[in-house]
Amino acid sequence: MTQRQCDVLVIGAGLTGLAAARSLARRGYDVLTVDQAPVGHTDGGSHGTCRIFRLGYEDSGYVRLARHARELWSELADETGTRLLHPVPQLTFGPQLTQVRDALVQAGAACESIDGPEVARRFPGVSITGEALVEPDSAVIAADRALAALAALAGEVLTGVPVTGIADDGRRVTVSTGDGGRIDARRVVVCAGPWTGGLLAPAGITVPGTATMEQVSYFLPADPDLPGPAGTEPASTGPDSGWPAMPIVVHYGGRFLYGLPVPGSTRYKAGLHQGGPATDPDRLDHTESSALSLHTEQAVAELLPGLRPRAVAVERCVYDNSPDEDFIIDRIGNVVIGAGTSGHGFKFGPLLGEWLAALAAEGAARPGVAAADFPPRRFALSRLH
């Protein structure tokens, strides 16, 4: 990289940066995206085959946003001719069940309360004693395909380009790269995940947050011919042949267990939301945590008897946590920030992209930006200062 110019430079080619670049490219901007590492690399927060799409949040505002995001996922799937969301029913349970149900009902989203015996009848691979909520609109996102679909529409993406400095003179932004090169842009969109705070601090922008090193484990079905949710065929003969016949599960509240079938595989992925320790994003350790493995296997043995309780593989993955778990979507001068996705950002990907593109376009002489395209004020950086 020597000297480059563009309308908008996006820093970070994870889910958030690629979604922003795609939204900018479709608005006609000359957009360039750079990343220090290849798309889908294992030190970022966006790698892996799958993520949960769900409407269920304890806050009806998020339910509405997730619904909006779902429409945008469908548009992206149509545009690229790629299957990105696999509908799979979800069972939600745990201490915040009532708040999730109330929020879904308030937002007019479908859900159904069932008791333990009904759970056993409909979902033989799951064992819950108390009440549970069925969320019929949940899905498994094919995360690797989603990243590839966004990258294909993002304009130019350069990898192996570490950004070392950002200087906004009020008119344009000059960005320095590791090899001594410079990129000159009218606007910069920083989507550097847990590296965002460190990158922006020298420019006088404080983005608070904590990186944590999470772990997911992969399990095999106890019986591959176990019948699926009532009314469906066994997994081995169903339309998604090869999936364990299991719903998505979310134990909502605190350090919760979540689980989902992996698309195109017999594996089931499970992890503990915010279970991992704080970490330095420049020193990520991918070694298996035996404590997290044990905790996950114990939860699986207790709640998911449809799976063999010993994991067959584990993966580590970094979370970019904001102090209040709300996203950080804002603009300071000519620098737009998309960070703090706090372990729940994937489902909102195309919506985050639209918000960031709208913020980057604001004030620029370009058509097509409506007020409704802007992010809610709850995501402003100023709330954290």
Ligand X SMILES: Cc1cc2nc3c(=O)[nH]c(=O)nc-3n(C[C@H](O)[C@H](O)[C@H](O)COP(=O)(O)OP(=O)(O)OC[C@H]3O[C@@H](n4cnc5c(N)ncnc54)[C@H](O)[C@@H]3O)c2cc1C
Of 54-113, binders to ligand X (CB under 6 A) are none
Q: 21, 24, 25, 52: which one contacts ligand X (CB under 6 A)?
A: 52
Give 182 or 366: the residue with its C-beta nearer to ligand X. 182
Tell me whether residue 36 or residue 266 sits nearer to ligand X (CB atom). Answer: 36
Of residues 147 through 166, those in contact with ligand X by CB under 6 A are 162-163
Minimal distance, residue 289 CB to ligand X, in Å: 13
For the four alpha carbons of 86, 87, 93 and 96, in that order, the dihedral sign comes to positive
Please report how close the Cβ of residue 54 comes to ligand X at its closest, in angstroms. 8
- Distance in Å, CB of 295 to ligand X, minimum: 15
22 touching ligand X, by CB under 6 A: no
Can you list the positions of beta strands (E) in the chain? 3-11, 31-35, 50-53, 85-87, 90-93, 112-114, 132-135, 139-142, 156-159, 163-168, 173-177, 182-190, 210-219, 248-251, 257-261, 268-272, 278-279, 313-321, 328-332, 335-339
Candidate residues 45, 56, 229, 350; the one interacting with ligand X per rule CB under 6 A: 45
Whichever of 185 and 318 has its CB closer to ligand X, that residue is 318
Q: Is 275 in the site for ligand X (CB under 6 A)?
A: no
Q: Which of 100, 142, 173, 199 binds ligand X (CB under 6 A)?
A: 199
Closest contact distance (angstroms) between CB of 210 and ligand X is: 14
Residue 334 is given by DSSP the state T
134 or 248, CB closer to ligand X?
248
| Residue 16 interacts with ligand X (CB under 6 A): yes or no | yes
44 near ligand X, rule: CB under 6 A: yes
Side-chain-facing half-sphere of 211: CA atoms under 13 Å:
21
* Residue 9 near residue 189, CB atoms below 8 Å: yes
Interface with ligand X includes 193 (CB under 6 A)? Answer: yes
Q: Answer yes or no whether residue 138 interacts with ligand X by CB under 6 A.
A: no
DSSP 7-64: EEEEE--SHHHHHHHHHHHHTT--EEEEESS-TT-TTSSS-SSEEEE----SSHHHHH
Q: Which 302-321 residues touch ligand X, going by CB under 6 A? A: 317-320
Counting runs of H as helices and runs of E as strands, what totals does the chain give? 8, 20
Q: How far is CA 135 from CA 91, 114, 258, in A?
A: 6, 11, 14
Question: 276: helix, coil or strand?
Answer: coil
Given the rule CB under 6 A, which residues bind ligand X? Answer: 11-17, 34-37, 44-46, 51-52, 162-163, 191-193, 195, 199, 214, 216, 271, 317-320, 341, 343-347
